[in-house]
Amino acid sequence: MTVWQTVLLGSVAVLALKVVGYLVPPSLMERPTPARVANLTTVALLAALVVTQTVERGGDLVLDARVPAVVLSGILFAFRVPFVVVIVVAALVAAGLRLLGWMN
């Protein structure tokens, strides 16, 4: 599968999911079980993506400068620091630790 195919098929799939919501009878998706599954799936995927983005490198678990950066960002989110500020701080922490040669 080429990168272009992935980009185009993925885009069409995500766009189609938006369209579907305007076509289905509201009663279908407003029932508790489908709505709950959709909401929890978002939670599960985001949690798994946090983990893979934080500790995965080349198909292995690697603990590096990303870990303290993400822990700090969790603390900042808990204190309701604005999203963009947290993202920048996370990047600066990881970049700074790597610049110092720690946790590469």
Partner 1 sequence: MRRRSSSPRSRCVETSSPSDTSAAVRASISVALAVSAYGISFGALAVASGLDVWQTCVLSLLMFSGGSQFALIGVLASGGAAAGPAAIAGAALLGLRNTLYSVRMAPIVGGPGWRRMLAAPFTIDESTAVATAQPTLRGQRLGFWASGIGIYVGWNLTTLLGALLGDLVGDVRQYGLDAAAAAAFLGLLWPRLRTLQPVAVAIASAAVAAVLIPTSPPGIPVLAAATVSIAVGITNVLGSRADSGARAKTS
Site for partner 1, residues 56 to 95, rule: CB under 8 A: 56-61, 65-66, 69-70, 73-74, 77-78, 80, 82-84, 86-95
Lookup result for tokens 């701080």: 89
Give residues 32-61 in contact with partner 1 (rule: CB under 8 A): 32-33, 35-61
- The CA-based diameter of the chain, rounded to the nearest angstrom, is 57
Least CB distance to partner 1 at residue 103 (A): 11
d(CA 76, CA 68): 12
Contact 55, 66 (CB under 8 A): yes
Among 63, 79, 98, 100, binds partner 1 (CB under 8 A): 98
Q: How far is the CB of 30 from partner 1 (least distance, A)?
A: 6
Collapsing DSSP states into helix, strand and coil, what is residue 61? strand
